[in-house]
Amino acid sequence: MKIISHPLYLAAVPLYARLYASETIVIDDVSPFVKQTFRNRAVIATENGTQSLTIPVVHDGGKVAMRDVRISEHGNWRHQHWNAIVSAYRKSPFFDYYADDFAHFFEERDGFLMDFNIRLHGVVSELLGLERKVEFLSYEAPDKNPAADLRRFAEPKALETVEGVVLQPYYQVFSQRNGFIPSLSIVDLLFNMGPEGLLVLRDTICADKK
C-alpha cells in the first residue's frame, strides 16, 4: 500500500502510524505551498504545554510549488528551534541517544524547505526502523497514484481525527503536569520512547482494527 503526503516538517505521530502500515510514501512535490500548515511547522510538548516551531520561508504570496520554496535565513530560527527542542526534551529518556542526529540540521543551511523536511524524515525513519520507499508525485504516472491520500493532514485541524489511527498514549516527560498530549511531532515519540516508538505506531494502527 502507498500513502501520499506533503513533505512535512518533523511530521506528527499519526502520519507516521499510517506510514508504519504502508510500503511506500509518495511525496507531493508539485502542489502549491500553503502557509500556516505543517509543511513548515511542527508542534512539540514543553513544560507549559505545546509550542509551535515555524520555519520562515521566502514566499511572495503567489502559487509556488512546494519543491521550489526556499528557506529564509532571516532571524535566528535554527538556533531558536534547537534550543526549544533541547529545553523540551533534554530530560526525556532518549534525548542523549539521538540529539547528535538532529543537532547538525539546525546548524547547516538548506536552501529548499522540501529538501530539509525530507532529510529530517530520513533520519527519523532510520532511527525508528521505519524506512519505507520514497517516491515523488512529479514522477508518478496517473494510474499509479497511491491508495491513501493523506495530504489534508498538513492542516492542523485535520489531525484531530486521522482515518485508520487510534493514537495510543505513551510516556511523555511532562505528562504529570500536562496530561497526555496527542498528535505531536514525531520527535516527541522518538525522544520519549526510543526504539519502542515503533511499537506505539504498530499499536496505534492495530487499535483501529479491534
Cα–Cα distance, 159 to 189 (Å, whole number): 16
Looking at residues 57-65, what average pLDDT do you find? 83
Cα–Cα distance, 93 to 148 (Å, whole number): 34
Q: Give every CB contact of residue 9 below 8 A, 6+ residues apart in sequence.
A: 38, 39, 40, 41, 42, 53, 55, 113, 116, 117, 120
Q: pTM of the prediction?
A: 0.92
Looking at residues 22-41, what average pLDDT do you find? 93
> Tens of pLDDT along 166-193?
788 999 999 999 999 999 999 999 999 9
Query: Residue 6: CA atoms inside 13 Å, Cβ hemisphere, count?
Result: 24
Q: Which of 9-13, 45-49, 105-109, 172-176 has the lowest mean pLDDT?
A: 105-109
For the beta carbon of residue 199, count every other beta carbon within 10 angstroms.
14
Looking at residues 27-47, what average pLDDT do you find? 94
Q: Which three cell numbers stand for residue 98?
A: 539521538
Give the residue extent of every domain in the chain. 2-208
Cα–Cα distance, 51 to 86 (Å, whole number): 13
Q: How confident is the model at residue 145, as a pLDDT? A: 55
109: pLDDT strictly greater than 60: yes
Buried b (16+ CB within 10 A) or exposed e, 25-46: bbbbbeeebeeebbbbbbbbbb
Q: What angle do CA 166, 18, 189 make, to 5 degrees?
A: 70
Fill in the DSSP letter of residue 130: -
Q: How confident is the model at residue 32, as a pLDDT? A: 93
Q: How confident is the model at residue 74, as a pLDDT? A: 80
Q: How confident is the model at residue 204, as a pLDDT? A: 84
Q: How confident is the model at residue 210, as a pLDDT? A: 46
Q: How confident is the model at residue 153, as a pLDDT? A: 87
Residue 185 phi, psi (nearest 5)? -55, 150
Cα–Cα distance, 149 to 139 (Å, whole number): 17
Please tell me which residue, 83 or 108, carries the higher pLDDT value. 83
23: pLDDT strictly greater than 70: yes
Residue with cell 507549559: 48
